[in-house]
């Protein structure tokens, strides 16, 4: 099997996929001083029309695919054998004599054999091994044996051209249809041709004058049929290889997309509950054209939920003795262990706020034992912190509070989504933690009522330690111990452990090849049934047919070369056994030049870099329209037939053949005009190769050619134009068989008609296969687009949860839970903006749909805040998270920002000025919301700048945050500020003044953990900039 090589590129040409072979070709083309141009063109043609698989293993997979693709053609060959035998039976019965009985019996026997084979294969009763390895050789052997045996039995009537039309046709069919290697097919067809030549050369008893010239002409015709079959084989093989590589490429892309999608999905589902993520994905894919009064919100109410808050007692003491990075590392290891405990205890982690960890049980899937699971989680956390206490030898402990009630769970805003819960019960659970005791699990009466004696309890007296609990009369309890041994059963695996299949193993070539083999074996070869018109094979879906019609056939130039090949060989036959006239030469030259010119024009779209631009445009126009391509092909067919027919019709079939110089215009004798019919068989075969035209067009064209050829053959039989000698006479005028009731012309017409029907079957099979490949391609493309769409949605979701440079760190690599991702920044701005009076607005009354409508309004506020971040002005600002009604953002965290590395300090700190402008824009956006909703919400904002550590806690359930003294001071600036004001410390005020901001001194403020600090209120810019920032939902 010849190793073939090239993939079609999207620009209309082809790209070599084998660099080594490309370099070798280039090296050979550059050597020597002569023949460089021809060698260059040879290398170009080799690159353009060969397709290499590049791997012996992949070649093995392809051969199996090729044999399955050729199964339909193999059945066509069996059906052709049946028609061939029927033709012989009918003709022998019409001309019945006793000496024809052996041929009738042989044909009847083989007819039964082929009919049984066809029925068994069509019904799927034959084994796959038999069909692929035995049947092709069996069919060839039976056809060849029958042809040679039949000719041998016709000894008295045997001529050198006996059944030559069928032999030429079978050579073409065997090469183009049997699922064997090219070398095997060439050997089989060679054996067929040699066997027929030897038989006719040694046993022919009629028309044996100039037997050598006839055998030479027969050899030329066999060579032509073999060349056509070989070209057709290579074209079909290239098409299948191209389809195979496209399928493999699509599978590789699909696997790659699935791998990325799986990692994104795993990352996404580790941050958001599945039901929320799926709702958000559906919302992103939904195309709502109607204006909505409110933005999309993904929040649901859940009843009977246990909420756990846990705080590390004594963590401040640790934070003062270690660096920020070491602190993050400790938190990362601790909270990663908490995440594992959450999976074991069926908890859903909500957030990590500094050293506070909180989770819930009973969402999204309700559980009757939610309270028990939460208490077990709390006890496990206390045990886990005890191990940390032993390792660090520090007085750290865990204070856990649990309450049971209802929550509103979901996400707010449009950027940096984080799953959160809201409700008065959440607030109460938080206070249960604040009023708890170190090393103990503190539960409310509501949680106590959900227990059934699983734990031994004691009075908690939380009201004595917390004013919130005291004001509401909340009765509390402390867990002493479990009353019975805990039955963990089989510890559940990670909540979001997705199928990993063997995608990483698929990177191995053998595994990918196995996947390709399995996919190709599972392809539905009946997918075309019901989707096409059973007569015309046109798709019933008009749009699908339109797309198929636009499929550009890059092989049309090579297909047209077939007519040039036919013309050349037929001309050689003409000057061998037909008249040698100047007219033959003139007709040949004119038609050949015309066909070659058409091939050159058609080739320009493939070799677009080697032809003038105008010619490439014409070629592209021809290739781009199916009807023009059909017309173009019909013109080439007409030229080929004209070159063959003109000389034949002008010669004298009555005179003796005199061997004379090739251009003797007086030599007009041509008694062997049956070669005209043989040439037409080759033309019909060449027409079958035109895969860029429909089988309906081929059907009509072949019918016209056959209809015209039959009368012409009768004219030639009766002596040509104006003469009356018979075609069945030799040079001396003796009849071959005067008793035969069927004239030779009629026999040739019957053979030509049956051959036409057989070729139409092949055309139909080839078009059916082409349309099936197109359907597979469309299906694969659709699947790849669907996977790509899911990947894009997941990517958008993930990038809305984590900064892009952080998400890429986690996607594609399985990381340990304790693995730390962090980066240190020296100059970062941090902003906290809260709405202190939103708590007065929030109620869970029925008029507010149990609080959902209040959160809907908060969602609108945060959505408008997030929309500001999409403005180019604020590209250096990153939203960190929201905490209730508090909005947290930071500037200067983009590692790709070139300004961060500038030697100019003001350039490096430009992001701080942008953060100040962002704070002013937040106030303006809230004022606009107040104007529209008739509310009076106020922002309290704090800003600070300095060094921070940004990173992710928990590689499996990543939580992105920033830590450091800068964050603490910014938070204190917000909490100690005043509604409607932006508060900064003195150092920050000096920096902002350098950027043209106006500040007002507030005075000394006592800040927890920092002592007394001089603070300032940011009032705006000294000279207001011309703002090009369009605020969301601005009225007027």
Backbone angles phi and psi of 151, in degrees to 5:
-65, -40
**Cα separation of 301 and 307, whole Å?**
14
- Strands 397-411 and 440-444 turn out to be parallel
Closest CA to 382 of 361, 396, 394: 396
| Chain CA centroid to CA 699, Å | 36
Is residue 405 a contact partner of residue 415, using CB atoms and an 8 Å limit? no
- Strands 959-963 and 455-459 turn out to be unpaired
Is residue 171 a contact partner of residue 569, using CB atoms and an 8 Å limit? no
Helix, strand, coil percentages, rounded to 5, for the chain: 55, 15, 30
Axis-axis angle for helices 674-688, 211-271 (nearest 10): 10
Is residue 606 a contact partner of residue 559, using CB atoms and an 8 Å limit? no
Q: Where are the alpha helices (DSSP H) in 613-743?
A: 613-623, 626-650, 674-688, 695-717
Residue whose tokens read 């053609």: 73
**Cα separation of 1003 and 894, whole Å?**
34
Closest CA to 571 of 680, 519, 644: 644
- Strands 356-361 and 420-422 turn out to be unpaired
Choosing from 80, 312, 962, 982, the catalytic residue is: 312
Which secondary structure element, helix H or strand E, spans residue 891, and what is its range?
A: strand 886-891
**Cα separation of 117 and 113, whole Å?**
6
Is residue 250 a contact partner of residue 781, using CB atoms and an 8 Å limit? yes
**355 included as an active-site residue:** yes
Choosing from 92, 279, 311, 339, the catalytic residue is: 311
Residue whose tokens read 């004013």: 467
Q: Where are the alpha helices (DSSP H) in 312-448?
A: 315-319, 324-344, 370-392, 424-434, 445-448
The half-sphere exposure of 131 on its side-chain side, counting CA atoms within 13 A, is 25
Q: Where are the alpha helices (DSSP H) in 179-273?
A: 182-203, 211-271
SS3 assignment, position 831 = strand
**Cα separation of 71 and 68, whole Å?**
5
Residue whose tokens read 């998400």: 807
The CA–CA distances, whole Å, from 1008 to 718, 772, 987, 1011 equal: 120, 74, 18, 6
**449 included as an active-site residue:** no
CA angle 907, 909, 915 (to 5 degrees): 125
**524 included as an active-site residue:** no
The half-sphere exposure of 963 on its side-chain side, counting CA atoms within 13 A, is 24
Closest CA to 595 of 644, 548, 550, 665: 644
Closest CA to 960 of 452, 532, 158, 418: 418
Q: Maximum Cα–Cα distance for the chain, whole Å?
A: 135
Backbone angles phi and psi of 142, in degrees to 5:
-65, -45
Choosing from 92, 339, 343, 355, the catalytic residue is: 355
Closest CA to 174 of 157, 191, 155: 191
Residue whose tokens read 């964050």: 967
**Cα separation of 95 and 97, whole Å?**
7
Report how far apart the first and last C-alpha atoms of the chain are (Å, whole number).
76
Closest CA to 418 of 304, 277, 260: 277
Evaluate the CA torsion angle 572, 573, 579, 584 in order and state its sign. negative
Burial 143-177 (b: 16+ CB within 10 A, else e): bbebbbbbbebbeebbbbbbbbbbbbbbbbbbbbb
Which residues are part of the catalytic machinery?
311-312, 355
């Amino acid at each position: 099997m010849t190793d073939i090589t090239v993939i079609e590129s999207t620009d209309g040409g082809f790209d070599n996929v084998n660099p080594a072979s490309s370099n070798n070709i280039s090296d050979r083309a550059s050597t020597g001083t002569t023949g460089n141009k021809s060698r260059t063109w040879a290398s170009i043609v080799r690159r353009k029309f060969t397709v290499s698989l590049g791997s012996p293993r992949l070649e093995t997979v392809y051969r199996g695919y090729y044999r399955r693709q050729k199964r339909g053609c193999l059945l066509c060959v069996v059906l052709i054998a049946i028609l061939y035998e029927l033709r012989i039976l009918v003709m022998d019965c019409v001309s019945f004599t006793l000496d024809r009985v052996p041929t009738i019996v042989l044909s009847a026997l083989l007819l039964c054999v082929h009919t049984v084979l066809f029925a068994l294969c069509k019904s799927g009763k034959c084994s796959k091994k038999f069909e692929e390895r035995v049947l092709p050789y069996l069919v060839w052997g039976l056809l060849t044996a029958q042809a040679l045996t039949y000719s041998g039995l016709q000894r008295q009537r045997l001529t050198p051209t006996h059944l030559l039309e069928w032999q030429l046709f079978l050579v073409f069919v065997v090469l183009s249809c049997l699922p064997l290697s090219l070398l095997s097919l060439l050997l089989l067809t060679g054996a067929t041709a040699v066997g027929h030549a030897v038989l006719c050369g040694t046993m022919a008893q009629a028309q044996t004058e100039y037997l050598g010239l006839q055998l030479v002409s027969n050899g030329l015709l066999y060579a032509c049929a073999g060349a056509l079959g070989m070209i057709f084989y290579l074209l079909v093989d290239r098409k299948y290889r191209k389809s195979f590589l496209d399928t493999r490429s699509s599978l590789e892309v699909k696997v790659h997309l699935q791998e990325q999608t799986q990692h994104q999905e795993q990352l996404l589902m580790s941050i958001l509950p599945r039901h929320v993520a799926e709702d958000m994905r559906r919302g992103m894919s939904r195309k709502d054209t109607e204006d909505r009064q409110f933005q999309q919100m993904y929040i649901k109410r859940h009843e009977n939920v246990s909420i756990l808050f846990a705080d590390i007692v004594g963590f401040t003491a640790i934070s003062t003795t270690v660096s920020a990075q070491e602190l993050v590392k400790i938190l990362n290891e601790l909270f990663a262990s908490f995440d594992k405990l959450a999976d074991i205890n069926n908890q859903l982690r909500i957030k990590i706020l500094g050293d506070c960890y909180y989770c819930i049980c009973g969402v999204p899937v309700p559980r009757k034992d939610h309270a028990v699971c939460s208490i077990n989680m709390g006890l496990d956390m206390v045990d886990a912190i005890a191990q940390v206490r032993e390792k660090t030898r520090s007085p750290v402990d865990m204070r856990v509070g649990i309450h049971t009630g209802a929550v509103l769970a979901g996400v707010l805003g449009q950027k940096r989504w984080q799953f959160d819960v809201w409700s008065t019960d959440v607030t109460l659970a938080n206070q249960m933690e604040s009023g708890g005791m170190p090393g103990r699990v503190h539960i409310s009466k509501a949680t106590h009522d959900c227990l059934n004696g699983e734990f031994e309890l004691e009075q908690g007296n939380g009201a004595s330690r917390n004013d919130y609990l005291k004001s509401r009369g909340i009765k509390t309890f402390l867990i002493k111990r479990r009353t019975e041994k805990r039955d963990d059963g089989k510890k559940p695996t990670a909540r979001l452990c997705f199928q990993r299949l063997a995608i990483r193993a698929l990177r191995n070539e053998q595994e990918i090849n196995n996947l390709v083999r399995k996919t190709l074996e599972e392809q539905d070869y009946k997918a075309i049934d019901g989707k096409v018109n059973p007569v015309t094979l046109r798709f019933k879906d008009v749009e699908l047919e339109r797309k198929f019609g636009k499929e550009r056939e890059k092989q049309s130039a090579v297909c047209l070369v077939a007519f040039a090949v036919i013309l050349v060989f037929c001309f050689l036959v003409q000057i061998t056994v037909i008249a040698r006239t100047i007219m033959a030469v003139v007709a040949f030259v004119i038609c050949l030049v015309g066909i070659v010119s058409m091939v050159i024009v058609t080739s320009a779209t493939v070799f677009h870099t080697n032809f003038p631009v105008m010619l490439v445009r014409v070629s592209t126009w021809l290739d781009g329209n199916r009807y023009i391509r059909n017309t173009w092909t019909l013109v080439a067919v007409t030229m080929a037939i004209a070159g063959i027919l003109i000389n034949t019709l002008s010669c004298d079939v009555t005179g003796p053949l005199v061997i004379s110089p090739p251009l003797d215009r007086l030599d007009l004798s041509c008694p062997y005009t049956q070669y005209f019919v043989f040439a037409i068989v080759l033309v019909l075969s060449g027409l079958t190769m035109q895969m860029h035209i429909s089988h309906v067009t081929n059907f009509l064209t072949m019918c016209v050619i056959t209809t015209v050829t039959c009368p012409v053959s009768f004219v030639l039989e009766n002596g040509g134009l104006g003469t009356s000698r018979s075609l069945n006479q030799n040079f001396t005028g003796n009849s071959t068989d005067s008793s035969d009731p069927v004239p030779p012309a009629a026999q040739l017409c019957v053979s030509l008609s049956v051959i036409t029907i057989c070729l139409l079957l092949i055309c139909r099979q080839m078009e059916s296969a082409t349309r099936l490949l197109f359907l597979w391609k469309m299906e694969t493309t659709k699947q790849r687009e669907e996977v790509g769409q899911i990947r894009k949605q997941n990517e958008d979701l993930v990038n809305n949860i984590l900064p892009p440079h952080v998400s890429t760190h986690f996607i594609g690599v399985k990381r340990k839970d304790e693995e730390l991702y962090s980066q240190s920044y020296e100059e970062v701005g941090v902003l906290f903006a809260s709405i202190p009076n939103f708590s007065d607005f929030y109620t869970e009354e029925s008029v507010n749909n149990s609080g959902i409508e209040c959160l809907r309004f908060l969602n609108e506020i945060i959505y408008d805040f997030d929309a500001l971040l999409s403005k180019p002005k604020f590209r250096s600002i990153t939203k960190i998270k929201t905490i209730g009604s508090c909005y947290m953002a930071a500037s200067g965290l983009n590692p790709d920002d070139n300004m961060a590395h500038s030697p100019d300090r003001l350039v490096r700190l430009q992001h701080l000025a942008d953060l100040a402008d962002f704070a002013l824009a937040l106030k303006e956006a809230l004022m606009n919301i107040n104007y529209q909703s008739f509310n009076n919400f106020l922002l309290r904002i704090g800003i600070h700048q300095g060094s921070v550590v940004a990173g992710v806690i928990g590689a499996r359930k990543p939580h992105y945050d920033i830590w450091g003294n800068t964050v603490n001071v910014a938070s204190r600036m917000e909490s100690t500020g005043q509604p409607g004001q932006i508060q900064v410390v003195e150092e920050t005020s000096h920096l902002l003044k350098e950027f043209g901001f106006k500040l007002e001194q507030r005075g000394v403020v006592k800040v927890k953990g920092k002592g007394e600090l001089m603070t300032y209120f940011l009032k705006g810019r000294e000279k207001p900039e011309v703002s090009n920032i369009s605020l969301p939902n601005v009225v007027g």
